[in-house]
A and B are shown apart, each in its own frame.
Chain A
Amino acid sequence: MRDAFSNALVAAAQKDPRVLLLTGDHGYALFDPFRKACPDQYMNCGIAEQNMVGVAAGLAKAGFRPIVYGLAAFVPIRVLEQIKIDVCYENLPVTFIGDGAGVVYAQLGTSHQSTEDIAALRAVPQISIYSPADGFELNACFDQILQSEAPAYLRMGKADLGDVHSAPLPASSCHELLPLSSTGTAPYLFVATGSGVKLAQKVAAAIGGADVVSASCLKPFPEASLRKLAEGREGIVTFEEHSIYGGLGGIVAETLMGRYTGTFIRIGIEDRFSTLCGNYPFVMESHGLAAVDVENRIRKTLEENVQYQQ
């Protein structure tokens, strides 16, 4: 997915000289192709993220299309107020890239992990939020962002999990829930985003009886599609590498409130920080997000609810 991102950035900058890449001294190696291809459109703004976002707002007002890159822990979290006031209030075409979202920087600890960015940003008006699961979705999201003249946040999480799609997607696809199974009528619906899609697929394969859909755009969310997909399901489960508060789980709950009465499970970070050091699988496991643990939890909940209903 990072290669897709790098290629998309270069293509966008070569196509449109208004595109400028601003980074807060991050992106070592990742931006080598960009710096080589478009050196004049690259700006290292230093380790000064608040100023970087203000500068991006000024550049956007002067007619440019800034793309602001940082780790998700800093962009958007550290600069939330600059995004709200300098960019979103004026509806400026600034794109924010939050890299390493979730617990990708497992060993680096809480400062570099970001499991609250969707929730925090969702409540800010005017900005769209994208959360691609693979390179194909990333390209579609990026195309959609470039077609718009409004603020956008592209959340890049765990990027080396492999593709979930097998062919390029049109830009418009990010405003749908993309099906990743063929039946469409299974008793359970798994709605996933970002790295959660791979997890959902694994769990679905183990449990059976589940359709998996990927939500690559969280705001605006394809609410009508979800309501239609939810019809007749016995259980709905959301998967995300983000807090269960305010992210995909919250979005799905808000969308279906009053329209769905089956079992509902949110898989994500359960309102706590990562306390121990460890690699990515270790930290995911520590949050109960190892595939086998998720599988067991979902089985148990679904079975309990079936008994309850009987």
Chain B
Amino acid sequence: MKAFDATRIRKTILDMAYAGSTVHIGCAFSIVELLAVLYRNHLRLDKDDPSSSRRDYMVLSKGHGVMAQYACLNEIGWLSDEELGRYFGNGTRLKGLADAHVPGVEATAGSLGHGLSVGVGLALGAKRNGTDQICYALVGDGELNEGAIWEAALFASQFKLDNVVVIVDANGFQAMGTTDEVMGLGNVAAKFTAFDFDVATIDGHDETAIDAAYRDLKSMKNGRPKAIVAKTVKGKGVSFMENDNIWHYTRLTPQTYEAAVSELRGKA
């Protein structure tokens, strides 16, 4: 099986969520392909040193999806199976939101609207250091409600940070409902275009399209920051979780865990 296989990552997420009896499954599932392709084909990392000074940065600004990132870090070998098995447990270090004390996690996020600014600072630091490091920052569409996101977007344009790639996980849901119900976002791609970003809109579960978007955008060294609006499905991969926001809050039972794993097994 290839590295960063999406189905295996989803299985790892389910195992973590079941072991820790945790929530936030749907928002982890929606970003699996986006992260899998990034880690597999694009992020330049030193496998022996998560804090290598020449690494590309992956900032998970929507910290609620952290189980998907933990699963990827497990694929690299930075987090062990045993550690994932103790997820959420007393005295462990893997918390329920992105935490920069974990190797490979660049920013503490989950209070939304923080990670993109930190990522923009990392990208500016790379420019000032004369490196070719790229900073990918994954934000939720609900997170776009936060004003700081747009402050960061203005800043990235003003400082000509073409090494910033904002990935919008446009799954259409936030905590209390659909994004349209809560705080309509309108045309997200047009908004980033208006902030002088180069923008690609893709199917966020189509690995070929994702790969092409990363490849095309990062090659455009034109002084303009980049954004990918990835249309995704919250809960993607398990039929009874898809587009049902209850899986932002629901814990697995032995029955739902078995049903979900069985669906994934059918796809493997």
Q: A-side interface residues toward B, CB under 8 Å?
A: 43, 45-46, 48, 50-64, 81-82, 85-86, 89-90
Contact = CB atoms under 8 A, between A and B. Distances in A.
A66 to B, nearest CB: 8
B125 A86 contact: no
Interface stretch (B16-24, B116-124, B207-215, B257-265): B116-124
A86 B101 CA distance: 12
Contacts of A43: 159
A50 B151 CA distance: 8
A112 to B, nearest CB: 20
A164 B119 CA distance: 43
Nearest to A22: B121
Given A45-B155, A48-B151, A89-B108, A54 B114 contact: yes
Contact of B120 (A54, A63, A64): A54
Sorting the interface of chain B by its residue count into under 10, 10 to 19, 20 to 34 or 35 or more gives 20 to 34
Contacts of A85: 108, 111, 114
B123 A58 contact: yes
Given A62-B122, A62-B125, 5 more contacts: A46-B155, A48-B155, A54-B120, A59-B128, A60-B121
A62 B129 contact: yes
From DSSP, what is the main secondary structure of chain A's interface residues?
Answer: helix
Contact of A54 (B100, B121, B158, B159): B121
Contacts of A57: 107, 117-118, 121
A58 B117 contact: yes
B217 interface: no
A62 B56 CA distance: 12
B121 A59 contact: yes
Contacts of B238: none
A54 B108 contact: no
A155 to B, nearest CB: 24
B151 A61 contact: no
